Amino acid sequence: MPAPSHAPAHDVTVFGATSFVGQILARYLAEEFGTRGRLKWAIAGRSEEKLRSLRSSLGMKAGKLPLVIADAADSSALHRMCTGTRVVLSTVGPYALYGEPLVRACVETGTDYCDLTGEVQWIHRMIHAYEKAAGKSGARVVHCCGFDSIPSDLGVHFLQSAALERFGEPCREVKMRVKAVRGGFSGGTVASLLNVLKEASSNPSLRKELADPYSLCPEGQSRLPRQPEVRSAQYDADFDAWVAPFIMSAINTRVVHRSNALAKRAYGAGFRYDEAMLTGGGLKGRLAATALTAGIAGMMVAGAVPPARWALQRFMLPAPGEGPSAEAQRSGFFDLRFFGRTTDGQVLRAKVTGDRDPGYGSTAKMLGQAGACFALDCADAGRPGGFWTPATMFGDRLIRRLAAHAGLSFELLEE
């Protein structure tokens, strides 16, 4: 189906606006852009009653905010929604269960699309199923536009841009370490993670795919060099601290490697990248890293066993639609540190911080600014239809937006 010849009524449509994260996103867009400003946006979902309630909660100025009724399983409604907007922002997950019809509709109508997924196996399926069609229709699809994986992907992009300017070459090796974070996982993220574990537990080929750090790279790309991965408590001399596995590295590292591949290996053919959590120095840091490693391993094992997975969902982890209070969101934050080393041993450090909890408040702002960047800044970006990453689609444009309007900072650190 060719792209529509008429101008869409909306720049951005938030699909799943009445979900927990969707409501935070709608409030952020209302505060940041208003409802009659430069960015023309709408809220969409399957329940008109809930959409009207959300609009009412945004205040008197939102009285004419457009509502779009569409169900994730109704292809006709999804097509109508897509032809009426330039960009769709989706918060409806787990995406492996509910996301494909909307991706298909965007691809068929030539509509740009962003989401919050961290489900690497689903992204892999979408790329293989729809990349050629997206190239023909002009639809540009960017997954992972929240905490996974904007800070990692744009953080590496920021560090490598600085390395090229300072040293004349990119860093061959980059590490990201989570120095500090406050805020829990969202219910949607938990549901997505458990769904991945459920799929992988009965599918050996999927387990092999999930173990491949290059799984999101274009077909035919070399799987070299061998990539490092922090799987246990270990000492990191570059940070003079102990580190433990970081659960989001499974998606973030794949996105970073796809960015390198799509950018014609701008980070170098021998580029190596890994992520971990800093736990401190000395015996205390070692014990903390060991305990964190054991906790993550236990959760992964439990998530793969049906009875244990049910118990986790029922008694221990937040359900989709659940989340922290507004105050808890405001008090959350994250602080990520990047270390890069060039082939000849020159070193560069950077940090990326956010002023809200990563799973909700900060993620909503990142997705909102990604949508605004698509609609307002990327008409001349020189990016044809296809599946892009935050770094390769938005790059410095989004870094500037996030720093100015979303509470993120990107800074170089001197030795």
Please give the CATH superfamily to which domain 10-146+361-406 belongs. NAD(P)-binding Rossmann-like Domain (3.40.50.720)
Helical pair 150-167 and 396-405, crossing angle rounded to 10 deg: 120
More confident residue, 199 or 362: 362
Report whether 368 contacts 32 (CB < 8 A).
yes
The residues spanned by each domain of the chain are 10-146+361-406, 150-354
Amino acid at 410: F
In this structure, what DSSP letter does residue 288 have?
H
User: Is 21 in contact with 54 (CB distance < 8 Å)?
Assistant: no
Angle (deg, nearest 10), helices 100-109 and 120-137: 20
The 3-state DSSP class for residue 358 equals coil
| DSSP states along 61-89 | GGTT--EEE--TT-HHHHHHHHHTEEEEE
> What CA–CA distance (Å, rounded) separates 67 from 51?
7
Over the stretch 364-402, which tens digit does the pLDDT of each residue have?
999 999 999 999 999 877 899 999 999 999 999 999 999
231 phi/psi in degrees, rounded to 5 = -110, -10
21-58: per-residue pLDDT in tens?
Answer: 999 999 999 999 998 789 999 999 999 999 999 999 99
- Nearest Cα to 94, choosing from 199, 192, 194, 198? 192
Which residue is it, tokens 């969707």?
A: 22
CA dist 19 and 94 (Å) reads 12
Residue 316 has pLDDT above 70, yes or no: no
Q: Dihedrals φ, ψ of 405, to 5°?
A: -130, -5
411 sits in which H/E element: strand 408-413
Beta pairing class for 140-142 and 386-388: parallel
Distance CA 19, CA 8 (A): 25
β-bridge partners, 235: 242
DSSP-derived secondary structure for 154-190: HHHHHHHHHHHHHHSS--SEEEEEEEEEE----HHHH
pLDDT grade, residue 325 (50/70/90)?
A: confident
* Residue 197 banded pLDDT, cuts 50, 70, 90: confident
5 has a pLDDT exceeding 50: no
Architecture of domain 150-354: 2-Layer Sandwich (3.30)
pLDDT at 284: 97
Partners of 14 in beta bridges:
43, 89
Please count the CA atoms within 13 angstroms of the CA of 226 that sit on its side-chain side: 0
Q: What is the pLDDT of residue 4?
A: 45
pTM of the model: 0.94
pLDDT (mean) for 250-263: 96
Task: Give residue 88's pLDDT.
Answer: 98
Residue 315 has pLDDT above 50, yes or no: yes
Residue 203: CA count within 13 A, CB half-sphere: 14
- What tokens appear for 127 in the block? 């790329």
- Do 108 and 138 contact (CB within 8 A), yes or no? no
Mean pLDDT over the full length of the chain: 92
Task: Determine the Cα–Cα distance for residues 109 and 92; give it in Å rounded to an integer.
Answer: 19
